[in-house]
Amino acid sequence: MSALAADPDLIRIGNCSGFYGDRLSAVREMLEGGRLDVLTGDYLAELTMLILGRDRMKDPTLGYAKTFLRQMEDCLGLALDQGVQIVVNAGGLNPAGLAGKLRELADRLGLTAAIAHVEGDDLVARTGELGLGQPLTANAYLGAWGIVECLNAGADVVVTGRVTDASVIVAPAAAHFGWGRTDYDALAGAVAAGHVIECGTQATGGNYSFFTEIADLTRPGFPIAEIRRDGSSVITKHPGTGGAVTVDTVQAQLMYEIQDARYAGPDVTTRLDSIELTQLGPDRVQIAAVTGEAPPPQLKVSLNTLGGFRNEMDFILTGLDIEAKAELAQKQLESWLPVRPAELTWTLARLDRPDAETEEQASAILRCVVRDPDPNKVGRAFSNVAVELALASYPGASFTAMPGDGKAYGVYTPGYVDAAEVPHIAVLPDGVRVDVPQAAETRALEPVAEPSLPQPLPDGPTSRVPLGLIAAARSGDKGGNANIGVWVRSDDQWRWLAHTLTVDALKRLLPETADLTVTRTVLPKLRALNFVIEGILGQGVAYQARFDPQAKGLGEWLRSRHLAVPEAIIDSSPEELL
């Protein structure tokens, strides 16, 4: 029997995975590092679903995160001994298949384990009738209640397909406290905690702007959410692990991959503008005052399609006349190609500097990317021509690597279907199938009115410095769009940021966004702004429209840009790390 009932007023939920490929040893680290009631893991992302879809094309019995099986071979017995329930979305496109493999594993290890799974999210066989086209994968984002059914039935391990990232955290809390479907504030609080810990060490100092303030980031520990009956929580980590849990590391993850003040899910819409963060002590941050609303009537669907084939070639240009060298290489390659691919794009990255002391510092990169539905047009027909330029082009011609055959790429698009069209099925440890109803009460999403801005700072002396001297940022991808969350740590800094970093200002600081649609959301309680930049990632991460296809560095680029900052707020002391 699980340890879920150990404390009736608190449940301690850890995370061991933020993506398919995360630290393999994390399950053991979390189980051995201290007390847990539940261990969760998020293995799915937009790109992961495409990877699993291609696995399933090769072998219909696959389609799940194979690394999770390796982790369970090592640690399933340990989890059972400790009474720690495990809830993961590692089932991907084949949760039933993974559940079966886990039962085989338990039998082979001589363990008695109750294995359950959740299904119904896979809509690929119904995309025609639902108007979703003909994708390779089509998975609706389910919520927490199927997992709740499995936990209430005594499951030791629950694996799911495509549920929302936070659902694996929300469900154990809902099961433990007996929350109802309309306990929106409590559910929203758990969603906030889940959103913070589901990306693993990004909550404990990973990918964090002010990383130099953290004493030891060598091997950050994975996060834990201590969720209370009212939905409030404390984010922490096991003692003695690396990294840190501070208001800023928690806020960094809250700002990750969000859209606006309403964070919609299948069970509840969480109001991000209600969240209050408080540092309670070393590595303990409270999330409180979260309010929730009824979920929207539609479910989001993750759609992945094979878009065609892609290849690229990187030319190294060194020394003088960089622009002329690039122009010659481009003219030659395009004129030598036997047939032009459907897409052919050039990017010149001026990484060189004048009078450089090393050859690398004297060099720029010219990148040519080609895409076409026909693999032959982007395969050797392209790469052979690129290689043939080696002795016939600009002086010093060389390449970062020899090109090869074209590779298939995917296109991600979001879809939406009425929730009533999507089955949600909990398959209990004894094989009983339970139909889980979708939300009976819904509320259509609508924009939140922009809150009143604080009084602007009075005029005073300024210095032209990087924005990142006072502001942190976190950026990420949502299909072809990217978000950048920006926040500061004092009230005076907020008075300046809220009035200064407008949409127009962002477009000036990031010229690549100048012709794109950008929207801004103001979150005063977090002293934060969120920007959504539409279309900057083309057709999603697998399309690789940019050298940073997931927009991971977009926020750091913004922080590096210089602007006139009042000297009075540059000297503002940041919150002391506890």
Mean pLDDT of 166-181: 98
Label residue 423 left, alpha or beta by phi (over 0 means left) and psi (-120 to 50 means alpha): beta
For residue 1, pLDDT beyond 80:
no
Interval 10-69: pLDDT, tens: 999 999 999 999 999 999 999 999 999 999 999 998 889 988 998 998 999 999 999 999
Q: What is the pLDDT of residue 547?
A: 82
Q: What is the mean predicted confidence (pLDDT) over 357-365? A: 96
User: Can you give the residue ranges of every domain in the chain?
Assistant: 3-302+414-435, 312-410, 462-570
Record the tokens describing residue 467, joined without a space: 């924005």
By percentage, how much of the chain surpasses pLDDT 90? 90
Strand, helix or coil for residue 464: strand
Spatial distance between the Cα atoms of 551 and 346, rounded to a whole number of angstroms: 19
Residue 511's pLDDT band, with cuts at 50, 70 and 90, is: very high
What does the mean pLDDT of the chain come to? 95
Sort strands 284-288 and 363-372 into parallel, antiparallel or unpaired.
Answer: unpaired
Band of pLDDT at residue 575, cut at 50, 70 and 90 = very low
Indicate whether 315 pLDDT > 90.
yes
pLDDT-derived band at 541 (thresholds 50, 70, 90) equals confident
Q: What is the pTM of this model?
A: 0.94
Tokens 């100048």 map to which residue?
A: 514
Q: What is the pLDDT of residues 80-118, one digit of tens each?
A: 999 999 999 999 999 999 999 999 999 999 999 999 999
Assign 513 a pLDDT band (cuts: 50, 70, 90): very high
Question: Which residues 6+ apart lie within 8 Å of 113 measured at CB?
Answer: 76, 80, 102, 103, 106, 156, 157
Percent above pLDDT 70 for the chain: 98
Residue 534 in this model has a pLDDT that exceeds 80 = yes
Give per-residue pLDDT as tens, 296-314: 999 999 999 988 999 999 9
Asked whether the predicted pLDDT for residue 576 surpasses 50, the reply is no
Nearest Cα neighbor of 443 from 267, 272, 291 is 267
Which pLDDT score is estimated for 2? 44
pLDDT at 377 over 90: yes
- On the question of pLDDT at 253 being above 60, the answer is yes
Distance (Å, whole) CA 450 – CA 521: 7
Residue 200's pLDDT is 97
**Which residues pair with residue 127 across a beta bridge?**
none
Q: Please, what sign has the CA dihedral across residues 514, 515, 516, 522?
A: positive
**In this model, does residue 473 exceed pLDDT 50?**
yes
Categorize the per-residue pLDDT at 404 as very low, low, confident or very high, splitting at 50, 70 and 90.
confident
The torsion angle over the Cα atoms of residues 290, 294, 298 and 301, rounded to 10 degrees, is 30
**CATH number given to 312-410:** 3.30.70
What does the DSSP 8-state code read for residue 501? S
What is the C-alpha to C-alpha distance for residues 205 and 219, in angstroms, rounded to an integer?
Answer: 10
The alpha carbon of 201 is separated from its chain's Cα centroid by a whole number of angstroms, namely 12
User: For position 478, what pLDDT does the model report?
Assistant: 86
pLDDT of residue 403: 75
pLDDT tops 50 at residue 158: yes
Residue 355: partners with Cβ closer than 8 Å, 6 or more residues away:
none
Which alpha helices (H) appear in 435-553, and where do they start and end?
491-500, 503-509
pLDDT score of 544:
80
Provide the pLDDT for residue 254: 97
Residue 21 main-chain phi, psi, to 5 deg: 125, 0
**CA separation for the pair 564, 356 (Å, rounded):** 30
Read out DSSP for 272-304?
GGG-EEEEEETTEEEEE--EEEPPPSEEEEEEE
Of 507, 521, 532, which Cα lies nearest the Cα of 453?
521
- pLDDT, residue 539, reads 83
